[in-house]
Amino acid sequence: MVPSRGVLRPLGLSEVRITGGFWAQRQETNSRATLDHGREWMDKLGWTGNFTAEAGRGSAERRGREFSDSEVYKLIEAMSWETGRQADPARDAEIAELTAMIASAQAADGYLHTAFGRPGQRARYGDLAWGHELYCAGHLLQASVARARTSGDDALLNVARRVADHVCEEFGPSGRDAVCGHPEIEPGLVELFRATGEQRYLDQAALFVARRGRRTLPRHEFGWSYFSDDIAVREAKVLRGHAVRALYLAAGVVDLAVETGDDELLETVAAQFDRTLARRTYLTGGMGSRHLDEAFSDDFVLPADRAYSETCAGIAAIMVAWRLMLATGREHYADVIERILYNVVATAIGDDGRSFFYAHTLHQRSLTAVLPGDVEQLGFGGGPRAPWFEVSCCLANTARMLASLSTYVASVDDDGLRVHQYADADIDTALADGRRVGLRMRTGYPDEGTVGIEVTAAEPGPWTLALRLPSWAAGATVTVNGEPQQATGDRVVLRRDFAVGDRIVLALPMRPRFTRPDPRIDAVRGCVAVEQGPIVLCAESAGGALDLDSLRVDAGTDPAADGGVTVRGVAEELPERPWPYADAGPVGRRTTLDVPLVPYHRWARGGPSTMRVWLPTT
């Protein structure tokens, strides 16, 4: 994602590398297992094979849901970021093979979707609400740009250009006055415009955004809000409806506003996202609390045991937050990104890299089933990490996020360099004025709060190094070559004539802390959660040995952190009653105990367990 303007310039994979620690381990698993796992399942289920079908192949032979093409595209995008991260000739060959398959399925006029338009299939664009044709095209566009940027190979880009040209012909000013039920073509078109300079791709994105909210999609029981087609983008006050759709659209709108210089539109979508954060977001950064339609609910409807919080919605929220931060320079969006990374993205993928969560409950009451490794799951409203789901959008989405993660670590502004995320990383880039700068960052974060940064390249003259101060980090300290510096606000700003060997140490307070919900979130009123640094903790009962529903914690006693984190609490036996309502609550025998807490991202890794993030107080 390379916007042409904005307060911050993002860095490419060649400018920043994650070299060790929490995220390097996950990038390694992604590289070693998850990419191949995705490919194996997509081959097995026929999703890749759909592309090699001859033009005359009938619909009965096509396999998978309408959006399965997009999974192949997202996997190629993930593979492309991965080969940009570290060279891999075998993976390059695999991308070339997949590209050739995809190119072979493209119609002479540029149209490309394996579920529509062939003999025996539904007509092209005959089902804009549910067909996902433009959605799939959007993912192809993004994948093609990722491939071109990381390799210089433009074979997929040429396919994407023909798709985009076809879309512009079909849906241009004098074409169909319509939008796709699932936004995604919008950010794809803007990104292709950035990569190719082709103005009409940007114009087409603008047209799709202007058409959204006019209820051109058919009436549906979920309402037009499900498709973000209920209210014009410029009129809406908050994100609503299907969470991933709303967030992908918001990402595309930020892209459009940036490239067209439309600051009013930019502030409109920023306000929508800020309000969504303030009223419709889980503690983990997860979004979407309605299972029925995978949607945002009303303000403050955030029940822990019904959290949908799809992995893809988390990733889409990172996309929006990142775009808004680059455009506006507002550092608090990096806090949001960190929260989602550690509590949604890190939670999603199993230790083996071959299983994943689709939804992220914050309260698991009963033990989940152990899932066989060779069966795709049909339901995706919760449950344990599964090897595959019938709808497997989240796996490839997580894979592309992890492979490109280093690009979220830092950025360049007019004054110097900003560090947004703390990890073992090497940065080697150019400041806005062209001077070269290098940093080596080493840390035990998030297990420890000390971040050491050494300047490894610098040219004469002052510049600014800015380090994000997370919102929870009151009391953080910073030194440069041992001299204490001011550390307040949302970032430490260090301006000086840095020299090679200068050493900056940031110390973030990592005491576990109680967090209380807004009282309007009725579902968890009277509860507390415990956070440590960016990590949300949870109580987990392996095998269900402890009834977590009987637990109450003493929020007057600070959490302890000797070895692991514990909170003082009581377990109260709850008698069975014929009717769960009475003039007084049940009274059972109470046992005092220290409740061990674990990072939420670790839950259910040792087998089925019960779990809760929000804990009632005594």
The size of the chain, in residues, is 618
What are the φ and ψ backbone dihedral angles of 493, each rounded to 5 degrees? -115, 110
Nearer to Zn ion, 344 or 551 (CB): 344
Nearer to Zn ion, 341 or 393 (CB): 393
Token pair of 375 as six digits: 């069966």
What residues does 612 pair with on adjacent strands?
363, 539
Nearer to Zn ion, 193 or 358 (CB): 358
Minimum CB separation of residue 392 from Zn ion in Å reads 8
Query: Cα–chain-centroid distance for residue 554?
Result: 34
The whole-angstrom separation of Cα 515 and Cα 456 is: 39
Minimum CB separation of residue 542 from Zn ion in Å reads 27
Contact 477, 487 (CB under 8 A): yes
What residues does 553 pair with on adjacent strands?
569, 617
Which residues lie below 8 Å from residue 314, measured CB to CB, with a gap of 6+?
284, 285, 286, 287, 340, 344, 345, 348, 360
- Helices then strands, each counted (H, E), the chain: 15, 22
- Kindly list the strands in the beta sheet with 16-20, ordered across the sheet, starting from the edge strand earlier in the chain: 16-20, 424-430, 436-443, 450-457, 503-507, 477-480, 483-485
Minimum CB separation of residue 428 from Zn ion in Å reads 34
Which residues lie below 8 Å from residue 48, measured CB to CB, with a gap of 6+?
39, 42, 72, 98, 101
What residues does 451 pair with on adjacent strands?
443, 506
Minimum CB separation of residue 185 from Zn ion in Å reads 18
Nearer to Zn ion, 136 or 394 (CB): 394
Nearer to Zn ion, 106 or 392 (CB): 392
Token pair of 305 as six digits: 């045991």
Minimum CB separation of residue 315 from Zn ion in Å reads 8
The whole-angstrom separation of Cα 532 and Cα 400 is: 27
Alpha-helical segments (H) within 502-609: none
Name the residue among 448, 492, 447, 495 with its Cα closest to residue 469.
Answer: 492
Minimum CB separation of residue 71 from Zn ion in Å reads 10
Minimum CB separation of residue 226 from Zn ion in Å reads 16
Minimum CB separation of residue 332 from Zn ion in Å reads 26
Judging by DSSP bridges, how do beta strands 463-468 and 416-419 pair with one another?
A: parallel
Nearer to Zn ion, 76 or 401 (CB): 401
Nearer to Zn ion, 149 or 182 (CB): 182
- DSSP code for 59: G
Nearer to Zn ion, 30 or 328 (CB): 30
Q: Is 593 helix (H, G, I), strand (E, B) or coil?
A: strand
Nearer to Zn ion, 231 or 391 (CB): 391
Minimum CB separation of residue 329 from Zn ion in Å reads 30
Q: Which helix (H) or strand (E) holds 568?
A: strand 564-572
Minimum CB separation of residue 500 from Zn ion in Å reads 45
The residue nearest Zn ion at its CB is: 312
What are the φ and ψ backbone dihedral angles of 234, each rounded to 5 degrees? -75, -15
Question: Under the rule (CB under 5 A), what is the footprint of Zn ion?
Answer: 310, 312, 393-394
- DSSP code for 148: H
Nearer to Zn ion, 247 or 473 (CB): 247
Nearer to Zn ion, 312 or 510 (CB): 312
Strands (E), 384-448: 410-412, 416-419, 424-430, 436-443
Minimum CB separation of residue 242 from Zn ion in Å reads 11
Nearer to Zn ion, 294 or 502 (CB): 294
| Per-residue b or e along 189-214, where b marks 16 or more CB atoms closer than 10 Å to that residue's CB | bbbbbbbbebebbbebbbbbbebbbe
Minimum CB separation of residue 486 from Zn ion in Å reads 42
Nearer to Zn ion, 3 or 181 (CB): 181
The whole-angstrom separation of Cα 154 and Cα 136 is: 19
Contact 74, 397 (CB under 8 A): yes
What are the φ and ψ backbone dihedral angles of 564, each rounded to 5 degrees? -110, 170
Minimum CB separation of residue 231 from Zn ion in Å reads 24
Which amino acid would we find at residue 399?
A: A
Name the residue among 467, 520, 150 with its Cα closest to residue 303.
Answer: 520
Nearer to Zn ion, 395 or 567 (CB): 395
Minimum CB separation of residue 164 from Zn ion in Å reads 24
Nearer to Zn ion, 358 or 472 (CB): 358
The whole-angstrom separation of Cα 229 and Cα 347 is: 32
Q: Is 476 helix (H, G, I), strand (E, B) or coil?
A: coil
The whole-angstrom separation of Cα 494 and Cα 480 is: 9
Q: What's the angle, vertex CA 436, arms to CA 444 and CA 508, rounded to 5?
A: 25
Minimum CB separation of residue 228 from Zn ion in Å reads 17
